[in-house]
A and B are shown apart, each in its own frame.
Chain A
Amino acid sequence: MSTPGDVAGEGWPLYEVFVRANRGLSHVHVGSLHAPDDDMALRNARDLYTRRNEGVSVWVARSTAITTSDPDMKGAFFESPAGKNYRHAKYYEKSAEVPHL
């Protein structure tokens, strides 16, 4: 299975960029870019994604280092809970005997 950025013929490898908006929040994927190496990827990310006070921390990762779910397998990955309401907490009645659950 191919991963993003794993395409022959591209000049510079593809990187995925993650920005943390504030302390306490998690890094969120904001986009991708090309760069000759890891250090330049971080600098390119600064130029492309953090010019307007967006964040306090940036991560970059080679796209090829990320293994993704296959879009064609969406059903098997994400839709299997359909019809299995018992997987949700709301399925169960609260016991009157336990008021502070």
Chain B
Amino acid sequence: MNAQPQRDAAAIAAEHQADTEAVHGDVSVDETTLSAELAGADASATASADVAEYAMRLGDDALILSQRLGWWISRAPELEEDMALGNIALDLLGHARSLLHYAGSASGRSEDDLAYWRDEPEFRCAWLFEQPNGDFAHTIARGLIASIWMQELYTALSQSTDASLAAIGAKSVKEVAYHRDHAVQWTLRLAGGTDESRRRLLVALTDLWPYTDELFRDDELHERLEGVAPRPSGLRAGFDEIWSAVLAEAEITEADFTNSKIGQSSGGGRHGNHSTHLGPLLAEMQVLARAHPGASW
């Protein structure tokens, strides 16, 4: 008699498994591992200190932008836009997981350790990603700059001599292409919509454009990672080409939003100097993990 309940439990588990397979096809949701998601990556690869620093920069960009976009869920103008921004946030979270997992391999830390147990000066994200959501136009303007840059970046990264970074780049580039399309579609609609939507878009571009420059700055890390990490300055020409084309289609000229009084951002994000907006974001993102260390669902 004792064996009976156990058999039942096994049968129930098998049934559940079958149900899960029926719903999700050949994707086993619970057991999806990072290595399985990344074709060509070696799951046991350990990053060097320099590669880990580089992966942390990109991982933090994706993580912080993902956290920002998650705010829109339940607050977007329409339910459909909730889903779109939420899906983009989830894609970015996936990129962050892969990049931070790899970055953590250098120091024996998990992606969760890096996301939840680092303080503000240890984050390496650029200032663009920390900026508040603002109104919908601000979120779209930030998304436009970010996604054009990310598509150039991940296209180049897919050619990296580091197999793990190349795999992350190759996987991410398809998702980022969709993020760019979403941002472009909304940029065109806001620019060509009402007087108010166009005015708000231009305000958003004026506010966010100064943070673009930081994304393209080379430093000593890129010198040491020749062939592994694309040089940020090398991505500028490709970015400018797409950027100009989008602006032309939206009938916006750079003079409409560049403000010489604002200049460039200080751009200290890569070295741990952040804008005032990162602290509150981290407080909200990390509070649960820190209040209940080691908790799981």
Contacts and interface: CB of A to CB of B under 8 A. Distances in A.
Nearest to A45: B80
Contacts of A53: 25, 27
Q: Which of B80, B83, B181, B185 has the most CB of A within 10 A?
A: B80
Interface in B163-204: 178, 181-182, 185, 189
B78 interface: yes
A36 B189 contact: yes
B84 interface: yes
Secondary structure class of chain B's binding surface, majority of residues: helix
Contact residues on A (Cβ < 8 Å of other chain), bracket: 10 to 19
B24 A44 contact: no
Nearest to A11: B78
A52 B87 CA distance: 12
B24 A34 contact: no
Contacts of A46: 178
A12 interface: yes
B226 to A, nearest CB: 38
Contacts of A11: 78
A70 B78 CA distance: 29
A46 B91 CA distance: 14
A11 B83 CA distance: 17
Nearest to B87: A47
A40 B189 CA distance: 10
B79 interface: yes
Contacts of A44: 80, 83-84
A33 interface: yes
Contacts of A47: 80, 83-84, 87
B261 to A, nearest CB: 35
B84 A34 contact: no
A35 interface: yes
A88 to B, nearest CB: 33
A36 to B, nearest CB: 7
A52 B24 contact: yes
Contacts of B80: 12, 33-35, 44, 47-48
B182 A43 contact: yes
Contacts of B79: 34
A39 interface: yes
Interface string B61-98: 00000000000000000111001100100000000000
B78 A34 contact: yes
A43 B188 CA distance: 15
A84 interface: no
A35 B84 CA distance: 12
Given A12-B78, A47-B87, A40 B185 contact: yes
Given A34-B78, A34-B79, A43 B27 contact: no
A90 interface: no
A39 B186 CA distance: 11
Interface of B: 24-25, 27, 78-80, 83-84, 87, 178, 181-182, 185, 189
- Please list the 7 inter-chain residue pairs (A to B) with the smallest Cβ-Cβ separation, ordered nearest first: A44-B80, A47-B83, A47-B84, A47-B87, A33-B80, A48-B83, A34-B80
22 contacts: A11-B78, A12-B80, A33-B80, A34-B78, A34-B79, A39-B185, A40-B185, A40-B189, A43-B84, A43-B181, A43-B185, A44-B80, A44-B83, A47-B83, A47-B84, A47-B87, A48-B83, A51-B87, A52-B24, A52-B25, A52-B27, A53-B25
Given A11-B78, A12-B80, A40-B189, 9 more contacts: A12-B78, A34-B79, A39-B185, A40-B185, A43-B181, A43-B182, A43-B185, A44-B84, A46-B178
